[in-house]
Structure 1
């Protein structure tokens, strides 16, 4: 990046090489030339064709935004936050190279998403539970694999060196910020698990994807962006968060670690942030129609899976992520590929998608909150259907969990707060000291029941069965 020792002509050249984006959320934002090089690759451009909110577009007409603009927004916010920390705390030793790496991680954190974003993960789980990976497949793992593929194909090492980066170390650092420790053995041994940066810069790993408490710029962007496109109000102001964020040394398991901490008076705003997240899930991401449309798309993908071959390979819809060259070609367009196909092999899948287009959706029967494991309730529902002579394939039971991001735990318990009087010491802040009006529970699970048939007779019988079944369950509980 430009320094004071460089000539003005060089600075002009650097500015010219960058690019200004007019973003509907963050306004005019300027991205570094290296980020622009990454954006202008097929692996990143693919994100233009993957909807941010999956099936929600079929419910909320404005929710047509894609992972492409979200990723640019996260890169921008990552740079804003790390620069704010450097300005207020120069003793942290944050370098231009650190800032650039953090921005690249923000830019590339979602490279691994499949068609309709999180829907693809559900499809893999439902239609191909063992896709050949050692662990449950998730898009973060695919993101670092796609990033490796991007680097291999486009060879940005020379451009990285031009801007002072060390490809051997910094490529590892970028992937660690996206996925977490790459050396799982070191993480299990409680030694410093990261290779990209030493322990004195541990706080850099909390900016893009914060596994400790869930507060990161990824959420800041999708809160603002999703609310904008959904037509909802966003009550969380990330600008204020940036102003009060501060790095402090915190004791963790008999050692000290530098963490991003918050001003004590901002604790209430943090609770509001998690409440905003919960409401987005309740009103949009987990909306009863959104979820059933996504279930229908998933059913169609399962039906079509073995009949769709990715161009240039023998891989199918569910195995494309085994090869990033093939995965680069897999986007939301597979929906239209099935819908407009004349293949007899895709007839069952095509009929499901036609039902979505004609709004002949699976019919909602009702829902119930539960405390027991959802698997037990769904097994009981399936067993009861059989005893009443009803067909399992005519029903769908979907479980959803609404929480503050850490299941039934309070994420604020995993944060530290400093005071105006003592800005270098951060401590836990008991909930009682924040407000008496805060939640006492941080998670709820709901099971929703749907009938795949839409004729009046079937739906009426299904609703009666559900109401009686729910009544019997409540009596037993």
Structure 2
């Protein structure tokens, strides 16, 4: 067998060169499960708003691994004891943290797979890979599940200031061009420390943390919860639900084998056998786009209309408000659309619906961002900051939306 150099260097548009530190990480990246992430968009339907937002979960996972390498370097320099095994576990856990994402990132969780989170599927993939790699992922899985005694290790992977958030804010702001989302990740990482196995930020980082939290808030309103991205994702979810409804009633719809499998079967977490996981591992954005293109010409009015909306970016009208929309408004729109198109009130729910979105940059209920003060005391960032806006950032902001076809405006 030919000897492959597994210590590769990759060129990333944000960080420059990223190194793959050891052969095990190289083999994980080369695995088909991980390569699938090249075909899963990082920001779902946001490319319909920001044409540059075509980057993938593959990009993001490698960026997170790079951030983790830098964080480990900084902590070791500050004499935090991290063994080679722990270092490897951190790199593996962050590399694979998003491996369970389905097509277009979040739409699948609410339509094709019945309420199974991508985190749960990520864990299934990790367990499967652990068998394949003879138990070399055991410690990484322990860390990922929060079962390892060194608390700071989970905080680096999943907390209110983790490597995942640092990479996606920097990366998503770069690819969308939303400059407000850019953060100084280098400074944030340089300020990391560990006290009693808990992750802390040195007091000098306070302004960088404030900027990070503000950037997160602005990215949610300007990108992740942008009303056009939101309505496109809602339409995609409704399209997949409709396709599944028709399939379960016996309609044969054109779709790839893995997509057809999830259309024909009700899959919940206990149903995820190795065979089901293999089917899921074949699913990516291309299955969905290809299906949508075919479904445009289907006889079913709902399925063809919704598919055309996404393919041609001719979406439903969406209105946002800080107040709830009155039921009468929904009722009146439903009646008009139902009458105009000869469909039942139940079927109009695919076109006319309301809901709410929430944005909270910092949660006081979750594990706080700990600030290590000069006198060695530790304080929650909200208390340590002299900025009143940090207190405001920890309050959840709820907005209500209503979606309906544009032609109802014209009448």
Match of 2:165 among 219, 222, 232: 219
Does 1:238 find its partner at 2:191?
Answer: no
Contact 2:104 2:285 in 1 (8 A): yes
**What is the total number of aligned residue pairs between the two structures?**
380
Q: 1:429 to 1:216 in 2, by over 3 A?
A: closer
Structure 2 distance, partners of 1:34, 1:431, is 42
Does 1:402 find its partner at 2:359?
Answer: yes
Q: 1:312 to 1:77 in 2, by over 3 A?
A: closer
Partner of 2:342: none
Does 1:415 find its partner at 2:369?
Answer: yes
Give 1:451 shift.
Answer: 1.3
Q: Which 5+ residue runs of structure 2 have no aligned equivalent?
A: 339-344
Contact 1:320 1:327 in 2 (8 A): no
Partner of 2:106: 118
Contact 2:89 2:143 in 1 (8 A): no
Give 1:439 shift.
Answer: 4.3
Superposed CA deviations along residues 392-414 of structure 1, whole A, max 9, x for unmatched, are: 514121311111153xx476x82
| SS of 1:316 mapped into structure 2 | helix
Match of 2:133 among 142, 153, 156: 156
Structure 1 distance, partners of 2:220, 2:188, is 22
- Relative to the length of structure 2, the TM-score reads 0.83
* Map 1:283-294 → 2, pairs under 5 A: 283-294=222-233
Partner of 1:140: 119
Contact 1:112 1:143 in 2 (8 A): yes
| SS of 1:17 mapped into structure 2 | coil
Partner of 1:275: 214
Deviates more, 1:259-268 or 1:239-248: 259-268
Structure 2 distance, partners of 1:87, 1:202, is 19
Structure 2 distance, partners of 1:86, 1:137, is 37
Contact 1:320 1:330 in 2 (8 A): no
Contact 1:83 1:99 in 2 (8 A): no
Partner of 1:299: 238
Structure 2 distance, partners of 1:97, 1:302, is 44
Structure 2 distance, partners of 1:227, 1:34, is 31
* Map 1:13-52 → 2, pairs under 5 A: 16-31=5-20, 32-52=22-42
| SS of 2:358 mapped into structure 1 | strand
Contact 2:382 2:391 in 1 (8 A): no
* Map 1:21-420 → 2, pairs under 5 A: 21-31=10-20, 32-89=22-79, 92-124=80-112, 131=114, 136-152=115-131, 155-157=132-134, 167=135, 171-178=137-144, 180-181=145-146, 194=147, 197=148, 199=149, 201-210=150-159, 214-233=160-179, 234-249=181-196, 258-305=197-244, 306=247, 307=252, 311=257, 315-317=261-263, 319=266, 322=272, 323-341=276-294, 344=298, 348-364=302-318, 366-370=319-323, 377=324, 381=327, 385=331, 389-390=335-336, 391=338, 393=348, 394-406=351-363, 409=364, 414-420=368-374
Q: 1:55 to 1:438 in 2, by over 3 A?
A: same
Structure 2 distance, partners of 1:65, 1:387, is 37
Larger Rg: 1
Q: 1:361 to 1:397 in 2, by over 3 A?
A: same
Contact 1:74 1:221 in 2 (8 A): yes
Contact 1:431 1:438 in 2 (8 A): no
Contact 1:304 1:338 in 2 (8 A): no
Superposed CA deviations along residues 305-334 of structure 1, whole A, max 9, x for unmatched, are: 235676379732475673211001111112
| SS of 1:35 mapped into structure 2 | helix
Q: Which 5+ residue runs of structure 1 have no aligned equivalent?
A: 1-12, 158-166, 182-193, 250-257, 371-376, 462-477
